């Protein structure tokens, strides 16, 4: 019999908890009171000031009650095979495994609670009844750029976290998809990028403590895999910004043969989740699950698709970049790593910088990737490297499709340009734009483009940059105009989001670079494509990848929705999104529903190796 003991997180606290424990462990409680400067027993049992539900008090109180409960249970029943903890509960799991003593645990969660209670205003909500993939797809295709997936608790229970106004505005999107939306009573966006400052401060605080080697296995929230025995401080800090992968964690334990689950602490929330997960565990890659169930399911999905559709590789542009994109693949997939290193070597010769070092430097993960001289070539390299992964698996496209910057990747994969020449052009374009066309931006609007045409005064000074699907378009303008437009749209309850782009692509702001860009592009060697290539700018096939074409890619609007419709009407296609976010795949989903077959290879929420593995299984079945 294999057993896991799990410790609950914030939300499981209740007035009166631990009443008997405080007397049995009076010595430990006295030392905790000295650390905290107040009485734990009074807070937990009586809560005279009504503060038990406030984060700064909840965290040390809940840690203490769960830790003392563990000590009693250990003395009575021995120890389990594995420990796990949900969010705050992970500190209890580490305490149980010997990482630190009780007083240190109190000090750590006290600091964590104080920092989190002082974080910038944010919000969280539970989305019930929708799968993880559905929630991710909805967010990826929406303008809610400041919302993250915070908890994946079970097959149909997710928690989202982020900007207060965006959490409030996104409820109709999930309700329309069939989900139930429940706002959580918290003041900040826990387990999201909004907590980056808290993570940094907590990591600095944590560095002042000595962490002992673990004497037992502990499952980490942010990896769904066991902690290393030593050198694990980074994992403790990272869980503040990273999602709680509870569904995957429990599914992996079930696949390993765990058959007994015990919740150690107040409440039975985790017990209920475990029962749901046991009935429908996550489909894990074959090497994890020990079966080919995931591959069988993928094969069944392919069998239901139109017979022998044309395979179209798609590549996206600016706005889809972020630090650490593809990092897991770089660390685990030899073909992906070799392709990224090939591009990095070219980039190094052109700029004197290391793209890989900057992109995967942990010190940068709290920053937005807005340096166009890094983001442009990094986006190209990700698309190129993902393509090499598919080619290595014997998967070859029948055609390629480029969206804005993605047309450079399409030109390379189609055989019209060498990788080095395409990257030279990408870097040169970025250099010109950064020097001559700053101060702008782009705004995504979740409304039909007819809204712009019907309100010309509202959009004064804006240029239509792209139409992605019937309910989403993007405009370019200077930064001040975009901020004013966003305020006006907010007043009309029209959802919009300023993209992480500091330049007004597909607008007259680019005209300043035209002459120099054309001269440079004209000197590069290009030839006829050996694969059909489609341009989202042209909404049709590419006649030739030359200087005129690449200039129009920068300057003219993108008509992605129109292009996909035209291709779909001509013959059945399967569109594979080889970009960092899966955004193009999501555009197709919300533009065409189930009528067009598509799949993504990556997204900004992690688990890239599993996503690519699943995609390869689908395409080779």
- Residues belonging to the active site: 87, 191
Residues 6+ apart with CB under 8 A from 372: 318, 430, 433, 434, 502, 503
Please tell me the distance from the alpha carbon of residue 194 to that of residue 151, in angstroms, as a whole number.
15
- Dist CA 618 CA 610 (whole Å): 12
Q: What is the CA radius of gyration of the chain?
A: 26
CA atoms of 361 and 448, how far apart (whole Å): 39
**Cβ of 603: how many Cβ atoms within 10 Å?**
25
Strands of 147-154's sheet in order across? 147-154, 157-162, 123-128, 180-183
Q: Distances from the Cα of 572 to the Cαs of 332, 567, 616, in angstroms?
A: 34, 8, 20
Enclosing H/E stretch for 85: strand 82-85
SS3 assignment, position 399: strand
Q: Which of 177, 256, 586, 169 is nearest to 158 (CA)?
A: 177
- Inter-helix orientation angle 608-620/293-304, to 10°: 50
CB atoms near residue 480 (< 10 Å):
12
Q: Which residues of 249-282 are buried (b: 16+ CB within 10 A; e: fewer)?
A: bbbbbbeeebeebebbbbbebbeebbebbeeebb
Cα–Cα distance, 125 to 8 (Å, whole number): 18
The C-alpha angle 372, 237, 113, rounded to 5 degrees, equals 115
């Amino acid at each position: 019999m294999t057993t896991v003991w799990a410790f609950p997180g914030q939300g499981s606290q209740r007035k009166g908890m631990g009443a008997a424990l405080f007397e049995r462990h009076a010595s430990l409680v006295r030392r905790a009171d000295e650390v905290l400067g107040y009485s734990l027993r009074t807070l937990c049992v009586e809560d005279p000031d009504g503060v038990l539900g406030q984060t700064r008090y909840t965290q040390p109180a809940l840690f203490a009650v769960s830790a003392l409960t563990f000590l009693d249970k250990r003395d009575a029943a021995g120890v389990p095979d594995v420990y796990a903890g949900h969010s705050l509960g992970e500190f209890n799991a580490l305490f149980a495994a010997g990482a630190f003593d009780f007083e240190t645990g109190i000090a750590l969660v006290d600091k964590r609670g104080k920092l989190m209670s002082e974080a910038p205003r944010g919000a969280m909500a539970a989305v019930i009844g929708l799968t993880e993939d559905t929630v991710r797809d909805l967010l990826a295709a929406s303008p809610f750029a400041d919302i993250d997936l915070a908890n994946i608790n079970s097959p149909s229970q997710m928690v989202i976290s982020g900007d207060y106004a965006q959490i409030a505005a996104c409820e109709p999107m999930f309700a329309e998809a069939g989900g139930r939306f429940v706002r959580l009573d918290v003041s900040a966006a826990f387990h999201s990028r909004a907590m980056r400052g808290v993570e940094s401060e907590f990591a600095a605080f944590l560095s002042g403590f000595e962490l002992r080697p673990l004497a037992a296995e502990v499952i980490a929230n942010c990896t769904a895999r066991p902690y290393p025995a030593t050198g694990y401080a980074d994992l403790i800090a990272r869980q503040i910004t990273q999602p709680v992968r509870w569904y995957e964690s429990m599914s992996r334990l079930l696949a390993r043969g765990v058959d007994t689950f015990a919740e150690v602490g107040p409440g039975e929330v985790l017990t209920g989740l475990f029962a749901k997960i046991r009935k429908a565990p996550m489909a894990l890659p074959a090497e994890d699950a020990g079966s080919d169930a995931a591959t069988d399911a993928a094969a069944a999905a392919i069998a239901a698709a139109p017979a022998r559709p044309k395979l179209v590789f798609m590549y996206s542009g600016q706005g889809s970049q972020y630090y650490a994109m593809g990092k897991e693949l770089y660390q685990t997939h030899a073909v992906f790593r070799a392709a990224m290193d090939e591009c990095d070597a070219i980039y190094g010769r052109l700029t004197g910088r290391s793209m890989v070092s900057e992109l995967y430097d942990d010190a940068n993960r709290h920053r937005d990737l807005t340096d166009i001289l890094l983001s442009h070539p990094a986006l190209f390299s990700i698309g190129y490297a993902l393509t090499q992964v598919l080619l290595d698996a014997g998967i070859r496209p029948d055609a390629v499709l480029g969206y804005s910057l993605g047309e450079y990747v399409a030109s390379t994969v189609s055989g019209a340009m060498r990788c080095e020449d395409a990257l030279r052009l990408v870097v040169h374009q970025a250099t010109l734009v950064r020097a001559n066309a700053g101060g702008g931006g782009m705004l995504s609007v979740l409304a039909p483009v007819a809204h712009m045409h019907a309100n010309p005064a509202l959009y004064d000074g804006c240029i239509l940059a792209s139409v992605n699907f019937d309910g989403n378009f993007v405009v370019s303008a200077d930064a001040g105009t975009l901020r004013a437009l966003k305020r006006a749209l907010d007043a009309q309850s029209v959802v919009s989001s300023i993209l992480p782009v500091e330049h007004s692509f597909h607008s007259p702001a680019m005209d300043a670079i035209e002459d120099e860009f054309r001269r440079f592009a004209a000197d590069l060697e290009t030839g006829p494509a050996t694969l059909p290539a489609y341009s989202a700018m042209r909404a049709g096939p590419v006649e030739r990848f030359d200087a005129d074409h690449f200039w129009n890619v920068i300057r003219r609007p993108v008509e992605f929705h129109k292009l996909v419709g035209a291709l779909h009407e001509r013959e059945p296609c399967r569109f594979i999104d080889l970009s960092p976010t899966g955004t193009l795949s999501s555009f197709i989903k919300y533009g065409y529903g189930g009528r067009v077959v598509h799949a993504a290879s990556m997204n900004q929420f992690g688990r890239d190796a599993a996503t690519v593995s699943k995609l390869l299984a689908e395409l080779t079945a």
